[in-house]
Structure 1
Amino acid sequence: MASELTARRVFTGLILLSIFLLALVIRPFAEAFFLAAVLAATFYGLHKRLTRRLRGRNALSAGILCTAIVLALLLPLGGLTAFIVTEVSEGVEFVTTTVQQEGVQGLVNKLPAPVRGTVSSLMEKLPVEQQNLDQTLQEQVSTQGGTAAKAVTGAVAATGSIVFQTVMMLIALFFFFTDGKRLVEWIESVSPLRRGQTRELMREFRSVSGAVLLSSVATAGVQAVAALIGYFIARVPAPLFFGGLTFFVALIPAVGAASVVLVAAALMFFNGHPWAALFLAIWGTVVVGLVDNVVKPLLAKRGMHQHGAIVFFALLGGLAAFGTVGLLLGPLIVAFFLSLVRIWERDYGRSSPRAGDPATPGPGSEGRQGVPTVRAETGEQVPLTPTPPPESH
């Protein structure tokens, strides 16, 4: 018969094997589950209030919130993406048709006046005849059809992957709303930590994830408003469209809101408004670009209860290490570390009572005669009696 130590080692190995296999199963949906957990932690308080208003209909409340998240985030983003794809497709078709029917000179004639002269002078300096240039460009347009088709196929495949991950996130979010309380209770029951420590770490996760998520959305809104002011001052065509585009692009850390302002500045320059373009370039770099580095740490540190510099470097470090999802993972990792340090110092460090140390009176007892204290086991009040002094010999 195997010894207790051997059985324990085998069982530990089986646990590690099961964790490894579980990680393989969860890996395709890891980001979806993580985002669902962040959203559930952020909106769980709203879910509880809505459940009370619906007279305890937990599933109905979860369904309403999931639908609201789809309508508030995914539909506007999908509409904006469809608009951009349509405009780009029409632009490519316009260029192709113009080159095939009127040649390169016809395409140059349709350019804005400031650009038209520069392009015409460059074409005159090219050591290529106009007819050969038209033929070469038409061949390039024809041969790029297959590449464009491949690009469209890749975009469709990427869109399908995003849709799949979004659906998985919504399914996980629904179950986190409906069964989140029981899940937390189960995790705390099987956790090897002391009672209350697991729940404390989860509260920290909820606070930090909510603070980072809400600060990201709020910062994108502030950047969009700042950019919209610049669009109105520079008289950019369709300023509301560019303002909405700035908001959604601001949620993508790798791109940033300032890029949209710089694109608008380039369009203004090509349309013959160099001073407006210069103003937009400075406005986008100084005002819109710096909002993300100033406003987001200030908003996030309120929920994280950490110094602004720590929040700032946690955001940048998470972004550099994990990509876009690192904006959430970076602050969570830092908060997780600081929470563990705080729990260790409180429960196991110098300030924690050690075995053999004299018991210190609690806040309800002051060590005076006749002041009652509370027995921890039964809650019964027991009067304190003074310890008699030792007898002198």
Structure 2
Amino acid sequence: MSTATVQHRAFIVLLILVTLAFFALLAPFFGAVLWAGIFAIIFMPLQNRIQAKMPHSPTLASLCTLAICIVVAIIPLTAITLSLVHEGTSLYQRIQSGELDFGAYLDRLREAAPRVEALLGRIGVDFAEVREGLKSVATTSSKALARNAVNIGQLSVSFLIGFAIMLYVLFFLLRDGNRLARQIRDAIPLSEAHKQRLFRKFGEVVRATIKGNVLVALIQGALGGLIFWILGIQGALLWGALMAILSLLPAVGAALIWLPVAVYFLLTGSIWQGVVLVIFGVGPIGLADNLLRPRLVGQQTQLPDYLILVTTLGGLALMGISGFVIGPLIAALFIAVWDLSLNEFSDRRPPAPETAPAAADERSDGQAAG
């Protein structure tokens, strides 16, 4: 083995070790860096426009974009999060005091529609178990929200550090994002054609995930929370947040929240509330996905629904709330790399021999003559 080969392999090992150590240092603030990258991708077109108007002041342009990002996105999201956990705390306190009992809603449903209990019994479902399970889930969920509310309300040191790091990293990603992207692209040991195809495919799916899935989910959640508030349903903000989360799962959707509530209204005599909720759910909430997603993204850039579902659930299980974004992004990279691999192998596949059809024709002609 030559000295040059040994040095090359030693350098590769050193590069891998240093890279792993670097990502290990970033691991405690993975969420802050991830969301800084997400906001940078969303607001990069605005940054490019502002930068074009002040080409000699990239720092000032980035500060302007960062200020717009804080006002338009970060402050509203922070306010909604604080309101959400405060509402969860109130919900937990009302459940603990007995003021709010989800089991009572089931009892009222059983009184209004006795056939529901009989139908559940036929399929092997015990109504009492459903009642206790619903109460347990409500208590556990509200308790988790209450615990997070205490952490966020006290503005813990880790929360403040993570928030500051996100803003700090976001500023430099906005200012130097294009240059960093070019450096990363130049560092990837692939041909220029492969890099162009890989980055184009990955960029399309990144925009589809952020602009399409996340934005449409936020719109559906906002519409759901609005109609719940209009109908006087308690915890409208909390239910809207749940609908937004479920909207990220194509096989589930926001209907898992509003449809049971509409059925409950219809069965318990609140006819007009049930009808309004069904019309609003099928109309604005249901059509938001079909009307907005093609305009925001385009059908050709979307991941299959089943892949979004599986990767979103997997990302949620591994990474918490950030998994809603990082899961589909990993799937996008997976598809981009394999698409590149398939094209590579198809280009190298030897062409089929052209003499085989001619030989077959000659054999068939000889058999016919014989």
* TM-score, normalised via structure 2 length: 0.61
Does the aligned pair in 2 maintain the 1:264–1:280 contact within 8 Å?
Answer: no
Identical-pair percentage: 19
Does the aligned pair in 1 maintain the 2:209–2:329 contact within 8 Å?
Answer: no
**1:49 CA displacement:** 0.7
What SS does the corresponding residue of 2:245 show, helix, strand or coil? coil
Cα distance in 1 for partners of 2:245, 2:95 equals: 30
Of the three residues 207, 210, 213, the one matched with 2:210 is: 213
Q: 1:336 to 1:275 in 2, by over 3 A?
A: same
Note if 1:236 corresponds to 2:270. no
Of the three residues 140, 151, 154, the one matched with 1:157 is: 151
Equivalence for 2:15 = 15
Range with bigger deviation, 177-186 or 26-35: 26-35
Equivalence for 1:332 = 329
Does the aligned pair in 1 maintain the 2:262–2:273 contact within 8 Å?
Answer: yes
Equivalence for 1:49 = 49
Range with bigger deviation, 330-339 or 18-27: 330-339
Note if 1:305 corresponds to 2:300. yes
What SS does the corresponding residue of 2:191 show, helix, strand or coil? coil
Greater per-residue helix proportion = 2
Does the aligned pair in 2 maintain the 1:297–1:312 contact within 8 Å?
Answer: no
**1:47 CA displacement:** 0.8
Of the three residues 184, 194, 200, the one matched with 1:187 is: 184
Rg larger for: 1
Equivalence for 1:5 = 5
Q: 1:37 to 1:218 in 2, by over 3 A?
A: closer
Equivalence for 1:382 = none
**1:214 CA displacement:** 1.4
Q: 1:288 to 1:44 in 2, by over 3 A?
A: same
What SS does the corresponding residue of 1:305 show, helix, strand or coil? helix
Does the aligned pair in 2 maintain the 1:315–1:327 contact within 8 Å?
Answer: no
Cα RMSD (Å) of the superposition?
Answer: 4.9
Give the letter for the 1:156 counterpart: V
List aligned pairs for 1:54-133, cutoff 5 A: 54-83=54-83
Does the aligned pair in 1 maintain the 2:220–2:254 contact within 8 Å?
Answer: yes
Cα distance in 2 for partners of 1:286, 1:229 equals: 15
Unaligned residue ranges in structure 1 (runs of 5+): 119-147, 355-393
Does the aligned pair in 2 maintain the 1:223–1:257 contact within 8 Å?
Answer: yes
Cα distance in 2 for partners of 1:93, 1:331 equals: 36
Q: 1:205 to 1:58 in 2, by over 3 A?
A: farther
**1:319 CA displacement:** 0.8
Does the aligned pair in 2 maintain the 1:230–1:283 contact within 8 Å?
Answer: no
Unaligned residue ranges in structure 2 (runs of 5+): 109-141, 352-370
Note if 1:175 corresponds to 2:169. no
Cα distance in 2 for partners of 1:206, 1:351 equals: 26
The superposition leaves residues 150-199 of structure 1 with CA deviations (integer Å, 9 ceiling, x where unpaired) of 98565333564555444322222211111112212322333211235435
Does the aligned pair in 2 maintain the 1:345–1:351 contact within 8 Å?
Answer: no
The superposition leaves residues 337-389 of structure 1 with CA deviations (integer Å, 9 ceiling, x where unpaired) of 443345456566427999xxxxxxxxxxxxxxxxxxxxxxxxxxxxxxxxxxx
Give the letter for the 1:317 counterpart: V
Q: 1:196 to 1:39 in 2, by over 3 A?
A: farther
What SS does the corresponding residue of 1:193 show, helix, strand or coil? coil
The superposition leaves residues 83-128 of structure 1 with CA deviations (integer Å, 9 ceiling, x where unpaired) of 45556667888899xx8xxxx9xx79xx9xx98x98xxxxxxxxxx
Cα distance in 2 for partners of 1:334, 1:67 equals: 32
Q: 1:92 to 1:351 in 2, by over 3 A?
A: closer
Cα distance in 1 for partners of 2:19, 2:213 equals: 33
Cα distance in 1 for partners of 2:65, 2:263 equals: 40
Does the aligned pair in 1 maintain the 2:223–2:285 contact within 8 Å?
Answer: no
Equivalence for 1:316 = 309
Cα distance in 2 for partners of 1:294, 1:227 equals: 16
Does the aligned pair in 2 maintain the 1:38–1:209 contact within 8 Å?
Answer: no
Q: 1:181 to 1:200 in 2, by over 3 A?
A: farther
Equivalence for 1:34 = 34
* TM-score, normalised via structure 1 length: 0.58
Does the aligned pair in 1 maintain the 2:198–2:336 contact within 8 Å?
Answer: yes
Equivalence for 1:275 = 271
Does the aligned pair in 2 maintain the 1:188–1:198 contact within 8 Å?
Answer: yes
Equivalence for 1:24 = 24
Give the letter for the 1:7 counterpart: Q
Does the aligned pair in 2 maintain the 1:262–1:284 contact within 8 Å?
Answer: no
Q: 1:214 to 1:180 in 2, by over 3 A?
A: same
Does the aligned pair in 2 maintain the 1:245–1:260 contact within 8 Å?
Answer: no
Does the aligned pair in 2 maintain the 1:209–1:328 contact within 8 Å?
Answer: no
Does the aligned pair in 2 maintain the 1:319–1:326 contact within 8 Å?
Answer: yes
Does the aligned pair in 2 maintain the 1:77–1:248 contact within 8 Å?
Answer: no
Does the aligned pair in 2 maintain the 1:318–1:331 contact within 8 Å?
Answer: yes
Q: 1:326 to 1:300 in 2, by over 3 A?
A: farther
